[in-house]
Chain A
């Protein structure tokens, strides 16, 4: 028990003094996961909306597949990206492996199905309501996709939150493709895993606290945005 309180004290000191190593790790984590969510959104939002309003054979299969992919095991994605980016792999020449770029790529793959699938659900409901009106005004498919995304933007924030939660909490993929290299690819989750295995609990605990705190802040921020926005919308 004293172990724990010692660790907690040290952890809080590290956080309070904005320890250099800690700050570096936190900033890299944020950079990797936020970039991954942004890229995944650029792909996943239109993909989800298109799935909601286009009718084509095999649409249901794609929707089920997309929703199944939400549960992709991070280590498997990490392995796949590793194979693609390793020197002997098809994209080996870019030398991305063990760089933040590789970690972003892996997280993008993990987050796209989440954003696309949740977007499809949100926009499909909206499309039921809007379809005839937009058709009547003569909106093109592109315009309709954009309208659904814009009018559903407050509900869609939840999709981004879920994506960010997935990206920032996962350890398997970034460990494999990033390699947890100090000052290069070490992020919060991988260093927590490392510090625990080394027995350095204070740093691990400090990082854990920061991770939870950041995720709380982001969630609260988005929820208040949603509340304000929604009140305005309906």
Chain B
């Protein structure tokens, strides 16, 4: 990558999101740097998916802000997201990628080469002409990933991309993510698989009940978590969180 890395690609400030009077994301502020794979971890319902959709701009925060920057400040920041449940258009496998490229404004004459390349990466090139929705769930997930990669985004959001995959497919997806990372894409990914987080991530945001409890480099979080909930979570003890007294800062201060 060339150009000076002077700013953070993603920066949130006092991010809050509420719907129907329920505060689902509470006062989250963080900055992520280029060149790392950031994982958002936390139990089910912690707000991982919501936080991603806020960062990606699919939903507007109730208050607070999200800022994205490309590596070079003059460029518009290109983002792509792979959803927890893949959403594929009723077109062929190749047609799904071609659609994304067209909407993104990629020149038509480059489509074929990009489509082949990204399908090859996820091991789906022999399905190129098949209807996308006839693929198995795991294949659909990989196609959604290929479609996002074809856009060569600055930031790639991945919402539990391996949650329903078999080990072989998981391995392929992890490799592809690593490749995108090496090519300079900022990876932001959620998972509930702690081993995967330990294996792949450089830094971790630990989310609990809509609140950012800890942001730390992976090694640090796993060996020496500062937050007691994070401690319980990495030890796999968060199962009985209901019985634990909530830490006092949980609902104490107002967001506005």
Residues of A whose CB lies within 8 Å of any CB of B are 129-130, 132-139, 143, 147, 151, 232-234
Contacts and interface: CB of A to CB of B under 8 A. Distances in A.
Interface in B86-113: 87, 89-91, 99-100, 103-104
B53 interface: yes
Contacts of A232: 131
B81 interface: yes
B239 interface: no
Interface string B67-97: 0000000000001110100010111000000
Given A143-B103, A147-B89, A151-B90, A136 B133 contact: no
A151 B89 contact: yes
A234 B131 contact: yes
17 contacts: A129-B87, A132-B53, A132-B83, A133-B89, A134-B103, A135-B58, A136-B56, A136-B79, A136-B80, A136-B81, A137-B99, A137-B103, A137-B151, A139-B103, A147-B99, A151-B90, A151-B91
A199 to B, nearest CB: 54
B134 interface: yes
B100 A137 contact: yes
A129 B133 CA distance: 13
A135 B80 CA distance: 10
A129 B91 CA distance: 15
B53 A138 contact: no
A233 B133 CA distance: 7
A154 B83 CA distance: 26
Interface of B: 53, 56, 58, 79-81, 83, 87, 89-91, 99-100, 103-104, 131, 133-134, 151
A133 B140 CA distance: 14
A57 B115 CA distance: 41
B202 to A, nearest CB: 24
Contact of A234 (B100, B104, B134): B134
Contact of B104 (A134, A137, A147, A151): A137
Nearest to A147: B89
Nearest to B78: A138
A136 B155 CA distance: 12
A29 B53 CA distance: 53
| SS of B interface (majority) | mixed
A132 B87 contact: yes
| SS of A interface (majority) | helix
Nearest to B133: A234
B133 A130 contact: no
Contacts of B87: 129-130, 132-133
Given A136-B56, A233-B133, A130 B104 contact: no
A228 B53 CA distance: 37
Contacts of B79: 136
A100 B140 CA distance: 51
Contact of A138 (B91, B104, B131): B104
B89 A130 contact: yes
Given A133-B87, A133-B89, A135-B58, 17 more contacts: A130-B89, A134-B103, A136-B58, A136-B79, A136-B81, A136-B83, A137-B99, A137-B100, A137-B151, A138-B104, A147-B99, A151-B90, A151-B91, A233-B90, A233-B131, A234-B90, A234-B133
A197 B134 CA distance: 57
Contacts of A233: 90, 131, 133
Pairs A-B, 8 closest by C-beta atoms: A133-B87, A151-B90, A233-B90, A234-B133, A137-B103, A136-B81, A139-B103, A137-B100
A233 B81 CA distance: 24
A133 B90 CA distance: 13
Most chain B CB neighbours (cut-off 10 Å) among A132, A133, A138, A233: A133
B176 to A, nearest CB: 18
A137 B147 CA distance: 10
A132 B58 contact: yes
Contacts of A136: 56, 58, 79-81, 83
Contacts of A143: 103
Contacts of B90: 151, 233-234
A234 B90 CA distance: 7
A139 B89 CA distance: 13
